[in-house]
Structure 1
Amino acid sequence: MTEQITQGRGRFEHADAGLKQSMSFTQLLFLGVSAQVGSGWLFAVLAAAGFAGPAALLAWLIAGILIGLIALSYAELGSMLPRSGAIVRYTYLTHGSFAGWIIGWAYWLSAVSIPPIEAEAVLTYLGGAYPQTHFLHKQQGVDVLTWPNGIVAGIILMLFFFALNFYGAKLLSESNRWVTLWKILLPTATFCFLFAILNASNFHAYGGFAPRGVQPIFHAIASAGIIFSLLGFRQALDYGGEVRNPQRNVPMATWGSIVIPVVLYTLLQVAFVGAINWSDMGLKPGQWDLLQTSKWADGPFFHALDSAGIAALAALGTLLLIDAAVSPLATGWVYLGTGARTAYGLGVHRNVPPIFQANNRFGIPWVALIVSTVVGCVFFVPAPSWYQLVGFISAAAVLTYVMGGVGLPVMRRTAPQIPRPFRLKAVGFWSPISFVVAMLIVYWAGFSTLANVITATFIGLPLFVWYYGWKRGWLSPVPATILGVVFLGVWAYIAYAGGWVLTSSGGQRSGGWSFGVYDIVFSAVVLAFCLLLRWLSNAEGRQHIDATWWLIFLLLATLPASYFGYYGPLKNPPLGFPWGTLVEIGIGLIAYYWGVRVGFNTEEMQDICASYEEGGTEAAAAKLADE
């Protein structure tokens, strides 16, 4: 007989009972800040300037505002239901298990790919300063990790991240406190010193303030590591089940971990643009688009300080090499913990085996931590460079943030009795803005990145059917197995024959299908899978699938909008700027209102509400305040 997954009253509400609520507000805030001041400050300023020139300054400020808009919805959700792996778990509460799996899978992929990119950042800086390590070699002008030296060193760093996480959130947060102070002080000292040698002509003399136009500013936000550098506000949500007084501390830490990095990064961008020495880079003045292949690409600030020829700045450059290890390492070990808690959240909802919820004696989900470490190491193979991996991570992570905007109105409808220490005003105005902003960032990432993200997201569908679908009793094991195997085989064939994903150049492999053929076949296969799953499922399964169609539409409609838009591969796109962006806004609004309408009172949400009703709202609120 098929094993049925039972929910049991209070199971979801008390799922975090094994986790230790040991973090203070300061520790939680520092986790968020530390997660953002990592490899981003070492490389993103060069990448952003390469996209937008001096106008990269605006990109940081705009990105900060956009992240703040996304965080509005999560501020209420985080104060209402602080949970470990929160961003993954909220989707299950509003749109059920199928949507929850798609979002959770994408979020987990983004989380586990951040530790390897931080390891790549460490090895890129050190390999550039000490070529005798043989960590790096050039591939199409970009520094990538070598085999075996570079990749083996990266795996060793991943094991170091694992060890720090294994011994508990308290050790992680305590060690992170002092590292974060270092990570704030050294970048501050860097831009202060570089201001002394600032060359104002770099801001206007070589093509003007926006030498490549307005459009690349938005592309830089999504693809140059800017959004990647500002994603750390989610740490306050992902560690919400392990912090004292979460209703107060989670929202405060969320806002603090947005404001501090935005200010810091904007000042660093000013300092870097002003410090550019074109001849030392090996470039002609104004060759902004070649910055990523310049001599400074393996260590932008180190070379900027070294080229000044001032002894004091050279000494600071030595400290910068130390920080090239410290900052990314600290971010890497924080995000490995995030990946583990994301897998833990998937385990709470039984999308993965319950063993992923197993905690060690330090209160850490150790199985989830091991799996996250192993999968993270795999990313060294297809993307052994910081510049190659950053766009994928940014788009995959921001894609999952649409759930805050669409989920908040649903929770207002299904769980009005749960106390909300922070309550967002004018939710009907801010929620759709939060949703659309997240999708615009994904759209601005560009077609190549988006094609890889959507392909990687849908590869998780067979895993859902093989485990959750038949374990839950939606459909019997035999059709579940056949459906998953057939889809996986067809998906692999389309990905290879189409030639649009996993290409080293970011374009299309020779001999691949035209985009029209690829898009039609890919969309048809995904829709066929979902329709067959619905047809084979019981009434419960059909309800969950029907609550997910809006998300399938959003992903499949965004792909052609991206291809035919300014950020696609066409030289003369029919949806040039800003028309493609406006089309994406229209797609986003359709998906938002559709998603709000089909959100329902899930079994997990009923479970949580029942626990409040049994004890009384006031008693529940008092209990939460005491935590």
Structure 2
Amino acid sequence: MSTTEAPALTTGTGLRRTVGFSALLFISLGSIIGSGWLLGALTAAKSAGGASILSWLLAGVIVILLALVHAELGATYPVAGGTARYPRLAFGAVAGFTAGWVGWIQAVAIAPIEVEAALSYLDHVLPGFVDTDGDLTGIGLLVAALLMLVFTGINLLGVALLAETNRITVLWKIAIPVLTVIVLVFVAFRGSNFTAGGGFAPYGAHGVFAALPLGVVFALQGFEQAAQMGGEARNPQKDLPRALIGAVALGVVIYLALEVAFVGALDPAALATGWANPIGEGDFGPYVTIAGALGLTWLSVLLYVDAFVSPAGTGLIYVATSARLSYALGRSGFAPRSLARISRRGIPWVSTLVALVVGLISFAPFPSWQSLVSLVTSATVIMYGFAPLTLAALRRVDPDRPRPYRMPAAGVIAPLSFIAANEIIYWSGWTTDWKLGVAIVIGFVLFVAFRAYRSSREGTPFLGPDLQLRSLAWILPWLGGILVISALGQYDGAAVIPEWIDLLAVAAWSLVIFYLAVAMAMSPEQVAREVDAEAADAAAEPHG
């Protein structure tokens, strides 16, 4: 590399830079506060008891570390669908596709999940949307499809309208949880609940860790949405780091306060025999149940309204996010180029319509909120896991790039955040992890098929230098190793590996993969070409 400072990466005029700091902050915060706040406290308490507050604190630390990583990447390489494009800059096409594929899997599933959550709550006011198992009925499927069409329409009308719509929604989404915390703390808080039902940690550390993939991490995920909109940020170098870090900080504080308020407001009699049913067997909607028991009808009404607004607002954002990720796959040559077509309003309209179609299809195999949460969490964390690897590699091979935000202690935080991401994948359990493994294999099959098709039609080399197949030497061992530990571990596995030794095994394997991957990054010259190609490609983005 030259000793002179490399130019900042900029994008062209295909996507319009109209999104300011507050909109970026609200986009990330709006993604964080969705159906997770309505259900996360209950699932965490059932898994960990009073120690569920430790689950939120641990998840908060992990997500903040990952947000710091994304803040530097987003400010240094501000491109649309960033999580799908960052790894390619350091490791080539195979790594870029893998990150983009798992990112797209989770993003395209979030909008349907949020719609399902909204209708599940609304069913208490207007029965008929879900059955006794929580699955969508025929009328529920119809309304869900209409909501997906509304989300898509708002996205197609332009990112400025999306940002303004989200700004209004997020203000409401913040106000109701904060109001709930204040009311429950002042009306019904009992500190003794935190040691009821078997003590502060009735299920030990295992319960604290197991709570993370059951809704805790799912609730906090979404902070990276501002980075996904990097190609449309007005001042990405300055605004992206502040938006990412600010959204995570606010989200962690709100969720931790909600868990404290929820546990403190429970009826002590319900905890006498343990935490299996802290609000009553079959009850759906923890805060609504508590408000009803306290005679707070006005709060119940607000919670029912928010139970629709919060998930709907998050679903709206994720239609945009999944479109940016498939757009990035199209621009990178990993998927048909038609996915990268931009409308006159500056919107990736083909990708937006694809997100709609896939979202509608997903209602069939996954008709309830619960059926997808753990799978989406694991896919999200794999996507997050690529970020610290990419940051460490680009720090080494692209050191002269201007970094408006430079993450402190990167030599410690990057490997630590990679370990944390892999621990969450492990805690998700074998049943979830093997299904995600199958989804990743399907992605690779599609990638090879499209690559072969493009090679035959366009004459491009099937095994071109852009592939960087050597990346498979760490990607396959990384994911395969975690699957093996998961199959033999304590979380829905064969329990061959003892408790705590399993966590050490995940950490040790993570460090091996981390340093192997960084060492196998592309050369400085290759990275410089990839970065230049991103800038040139963005400048040539077509409209229509």
Displacement of 1:364 after TM fit? 0.7
Query: Relative to structure 1, is the Cα distance of residues 286 and 23 closer, same or farther in structure 2, using a 3 angstrom cutoff?
Result: farther
1:553-572 to structure 2, matched below 5 A, reads: 553-570=477-494
Displacement of 1:152 after TM fit? 2.2
Give 1:43's aligned residue: 39
Give 2:62's aligned residue: 66
* Correspondence 1:227 to 2:217: yes
Displacement of 1:375 after TM fit? 0.8
Counterpart Cα distance in 2 of 1:358 and 1:112:
18
Displacement of 1:427 after TM fit? 2.5
Correspondent of 2:96 among 94, 100, 122: 100
* Correspondence 1:164 to 2:154: yes
Query: Relative to structure 1, is the Cα distance of residues 57 and 192 closer, same or farther in structure 2, using a 3 angstrom cutoff?
Result: same
Query: Relative to structure 1, is the Cα distance of residues 348 and 41 closer, same or farther in structure 2, using a 3 angstrom cutoff?
Result: same
* Correspondence 1:575 to 2:500: no
Correspondent of 1:275 among 259, 262, 265: 265
- Give the TM-score normalised by structure 1: 0.80
Correspondent of 1:593 among 515, 519, 542: 515
Displacement of 1:52 after TM fit? 0.9
Q: Output the amino acid matched with 2:215.
A: G
Aligned length in residues: 528
Give 2:354's aligned residue: 371
Give 1:500's aligned residue: none
Name the SS for the 1:136 alignment partner: coil
Give 2:131's aligned residue: 137
Query: Relative to structure 1, is the Cα distance of residues 284 and 181 closer, same or farther in structure 2, using a 3 angstrom cutoff?
Result: closer
Query: Relative to structure 1, is the Cα distance of residues 448 and 39 closer, same or farther in structure 2, using a 3 angstrom cutoff?
Result: same
Counterpart Cα distance in 1 of 2:468 and 2:499:
37
Give 1:181's aligned residue: 171
* Correspondence 1:202 to 2:197: no
Correspondent of 1:429 among 412, 430, 436: 412
Displacement of 1:430 after TM fit? 2.0
* Correspondence 1:75 to 2:81: no
Contact 2:49 2:200 in 1 (8 A): yes
Contact 1:24 1:243 in 2 (8 A): yes
1:73-472 to structure 2, matched below 5 A, reads: 73-130=69-126, 133-139=127-133, 143-146=134-137, 148-195=138-185, 196-222=187-213, 224-277=214-267, 285-290=272-277, 294-296=281-283, 298-309=284-295, 313-469=296-452, 471=454
Name the SS for the 1:401 alignment partner: helix
Displacement of 1:201 after TM fit? 3.0
Query: Relative to structure 1, is the Cα distance of residues 316 and 467 closer, same or farther in structure 2, using a 3 angstrom cutoff?
Result: same
Displacement of 1:203 after TM fit? 1.4
CA distances 1:16-58 after superposition (whole Å, capped 9, x unpaired): 5211111110111011111111101111111111111111111
Give 2:506's aligned residue: 584
Counterpart Cα distance in 2 of 1:454 and 1:546:
20
Displacement of 1:151 after TM fit? 2.1
Contact 1:475 1:538 in 2 (8 A): no
Query: Relative to structure 1, is the Cα distance of residues 49 and 436 closer, same or farther in structure 2, using a 3 angstrom cutoff?
Result: same
Unaligned ranges ≥5, structure 2 = 1-7, 537-544
Query: Relative to structure 1, is the Cα distance of residues 14 and 265 closer, same or farther in structure 2, using a 3 angstrom cutoff?
Result: closer
Contact 2:10 2:535 in 1 (8 A): no
* Correspondence 1:540 to 2:465: yes
Counterpart Cα distance in 2 of 1:89 and 1:612:
9
Give the share of equivalent positions with the same residue, in percent.
36
Counterpart Cα distance in 1 of 2:525 and 2:383:
22
Contact 2:279 2:290 in 1 (8 A): no
Counterpart Cα distance in 2 of 1:221 and 1:260:
19
Give 2:5's aligned residue: none
Contact 1:92 1:602 in 2 (8 A): no
Displacement of 1:476 after TM fit? 8.7
Query: Relative to structure 1, is the Cα distance of residues 398 and 181 closer, same or farther in structure 2, using a 3 angstrom cutoff?
Result: same
Name the SS for the 1:388 alignment partner: coil
Which piece of structure 1 moves more, 413-422 or 357-366? 413-422
Give 1:502's aligned residue: none
Unaligned ranges ≥5, structure 1 = 1-11, 478-535, 615-627
Counterpart Cα distance in 2 of 1:476 and 1:18:
27
Counterpart Cα distance in 1 of 2:155 and 2:535:
37
Displacement of 1:111 after TM fit? 0.3
Q: Output the amino acid matched with 2:224.
A: R
Counterpart Cα distance in 2 of 1:613 and 1:85:
14
Which piece of structure 1 moves more, 545-554 or 148-157? 148-157
Counterpart Cα distance in 2 of 1:128 and 1:449:
30
Contact 1:82 1:240 in 2 (8 A): yes
Counterpart Cα distance in 1 of 2:268 and 2:148:
36
Displacement of 1:594 after TM fit? 1.2
Give 1:486's aligned residue: none
Displacement of 1:608 after TM fit? 5.7
Contact 1:383 1:389 in 2 (8 A): yes
Query: Relative to structure 1, is the Cα distance of residues 602 and 362 closer, same or farther in structure 2, using a 3 angstrom cutoff?
Result: farther
Counterpart Cα distance in 2 of 1:200 and 1:586:
39
Displacement of 1:475 after TM fit? 12
Query: Relative to structure 1, is the Cα distance of residues 440 and 452 closer, same or farther in structure 2, using a 3 angstrom cutoff?
Result: same
Displacement of 1:589 after TM fit? 1.1
RMSD over aligned Cα, in angstroms?
2.5
Which piece of structure 1 moves more, 448-457 or 252-261? 448-457
Query: Relative to structure 1, is the Cα distance of residues 263 and 251 closer, same or farther in structure 2, using a 3 angstrom cutoff?
Result: same
Displacement of 1:355 after TM fit? 1.1
Query: Relative to structure 1, is the Cα distance of residues 101 and 555 closer, same or farther in structure 2, using a 3 angstrom cutoff?
Result: same
Q: Output the amino acid matched with 1:564.
A: L
Query: Relative to structure 1, is the Cα distance of residues 37 and 425 closer, same or farther in structure 2, using a 3 angstrom cutoff?
Result: closer
Counterpart Cα distance in 1 of 2:455 and 2:528:
18
Query: Relative to structure 1, is the Cα distance of residues 344 and 475 closer, same or farther in structure 2, using a 3 angstrom cutoff?
Result: closer
Displacement of 1:568 after TM fit? 2.3
Displacement of 1:144 after TM fit? 2.3
CA distances 1:192-219 after superposition (whole Å, capped 9, x unpaired): 1111112333211211111111111111
Give 2:542's aligned residue: none
Name the SS for the 2:223 alignment partner: helix
CA distances 1:412-440 after superposition (whole Å, capped 9, x unpaired): 23322321011234332222112111111
Contact 2:68 2:245 in 1 (8 A): no
Query: Relative to structure 1, is the Cα distance of residues 609 and 91 closer, same or farther in structure 2, using a 3 angstrom cutoff?
Result: closer
Q: Output the amino acid matched with 1:540.
A: P
Counterpart Cα distance in 2 of 1:155 and 1:259:
34
Query: Relative to structure 1, is the Cα distance of residues 305 and 613 closer, same or farther in structure 2, using a 3 angstrom cutoff?
Result: closer
Displacement of 1:68 after TM fit? 1.2
Higher relative CO (Cα under 8 Å, sequence separation at least 6) belongs to 2
Counterpart Cα distance in 2 of 1:613 and 1:98:
20
Name the SS for the 1:138 alignment partner: coil
Contact 2:10 2:78 in 1 (8 A): no
Name the SS for the 2:350 alignment partner: helix
CA distances 1:371-391 after superposition (whole Å, capped 9, x unpaired): 111111222222222122111
Q: Output the amino acid matched with 1:68.
A: I
